[in-house]
Homo-oligomer: A and B are copies of this chain.
C-alpha cells in the first residue's frame, strides 16, 4: 500500500477539534497507510491528542497551524474575502502544494465551495463543481445523488455535467457497470417539471455514453430504481435533509420504543433485544454512515462533512476521502468528460 496524506480542517463544524481530532485518531487506527495533517489552532488541537494518541499515531500526525476559522454561518462571499490564514483555506492550499492528496472540512459549505474552486480549480469543461453523496438503498446497493447544495440554480448544461460526473462515480467508485442515470422530477411524463430539467433530458437522451433512463420522483430516491439521481442543489439539499430527518425520527422512535414502563421486566428485556436487532437492521440507513459529500468536478479531492457530524460521522467523511484518493476520482472524471462532453461552445 502506498502512503496517503489528507489535510483536515479540524476547526470546522459545530464541535471543532473535540469531534474532528478524536475522529482523526479513529481513522488512523482503521487505515494504517494514512497520514493526517491537522490544520487549525495548535492550542485547541493538542488537548485532544495528549494521552489519547499513542506514539505510532503521533508519528503519522502533523499539526499545521492556522490563525483563524471561518464561521459556519458567515456569508460565503465575505468569508472567502477574509479567508487568508483560515484553517479551511490552509487545508485546501495543502492540496495545491501537493502536500496532501485530499481535504476534509465540516465548515461553511458556501465558503468551501468557493475556496475549492479558487484554489483547487475545476476540471476542464466543468462550469461548477457539485456536491455528491452515495446513499444506501432498499436493494442494498448504492445510489449516487448530486447536486446537494453547491449550486442552488442550475441550467441544463450543468445538470448534464452532473449526470456525467455521477455516472463516473457510480461506475468507477461503486463498481456499477453501465449505471442508470435519472433526473429527479415531479412526474415521469416528458412534459413534467422545469425548463432546465426538460432541457437536460433532451441532451441526455442523445448522449450515448450515459445510460439515461428518464425522470424519477422523490419516492424513488431509496428504491434503487436508478444508480444516479441528478437534481439542482436546492432540491438536492432539501430532499437529502428531509430524508435524513425522517430516518433520524424513525431511528429515535425505534430506540425509545423499548422504554415503555408498563411491561413486565422479561417482556421489556425481550423488547430491548428485538429493538436492538431492528436498529441494526436499519443501521445502514443511519445518516452518520454516509456522512461526507464529495465536491465533484475539481482537480483535487475535497470532502464536505456535515457541520453537525459526531466523531463517528466525521471518521466516515475521512474514509470517503481515502476512497476517493484510492479510486483516483478526479482523473477518472476528467477522462470521461473528455469523451462525453461536447467541446465547450
Chain A interfacial positions (CB closer than 8 Å to B) = 73, 75, 138, 149, 152-153, 184, 186, 188-189, 191, 193-194, 217-223, 231, 233-235, 237-250, 253-254, 257, 267, 270-271, 274-275, 277-278, 281-282
Contacts and interface: CB of A to CB of B under 8 A. Distances in A.
Contact of A153 (B194, B239, B248): B194
Given A250-B282, A281-B253, A218 B242 contact: yes
Which of A218, A223, A234, A238 neighbours the largest number of chain B CB atoms within 10 Å of its CB? Answer: A238
Contact of A247 (B152, B153, B194, B246): B246
Given A193-B152, A271-B274, A239 B237 contact: no
A309 to B, nearest CB: 14
Quick one: copies of this chain in the complex?
A: 2
A264 to B, nearest CB: 12
Given A152-B194, A193-B234, A242-B243, 12 more contacts: A186-B237, A217-B238, A219-B245, A220-B245, A221-B246, A222-B246, A223-B245, A223-B249, A235-B235, A242-B242, A247-B250, A257-B278
A153 B193 CA distance: 9
A235 B233 CA distance: 11
Contact of A245 (B75, B218, B271, B282): B218
Nearest to A186: B237
Contacts of A138: 249
A220, A245, A271 interface centre (most CB from chain B within 10 Å): A245
Given A73-B189, A194-B234, A274 B270 contact: yes
Contacts of A277: 257
A221 B242 CA distance: 7
- Most B CB contacts (10 A, CB to CB) among A191, A237, A246, A282 go to A246
A254 to B, nearest CB: 7
A168 to B, nearest CB: 24
A152 B185 CA distance: 10
Nearest to A270: B270
A12 to B, nearest CB: 15
B222 A239 contact: no
Given A186-B152, A246-B246, A218 B194 contact: no
A149 B186 contact: yes
A3 to B, nearest CB: 38
Chain B CB within 10 Å, residue with most, of A186, A189, A278: A186
Contact of A278 (B189, B241, B249, B254): B254
Nearest to A153: B194
Given A253-B282, A274-B271, A237 B219 contact: no
A207 to B, nearest CB: 24
Contacts of A274: 270-271, 274-275
Contacts of A246: 221-222, 243, 246-247, 250
Given A238-B186, A282-B250, A245 B257 contact: no
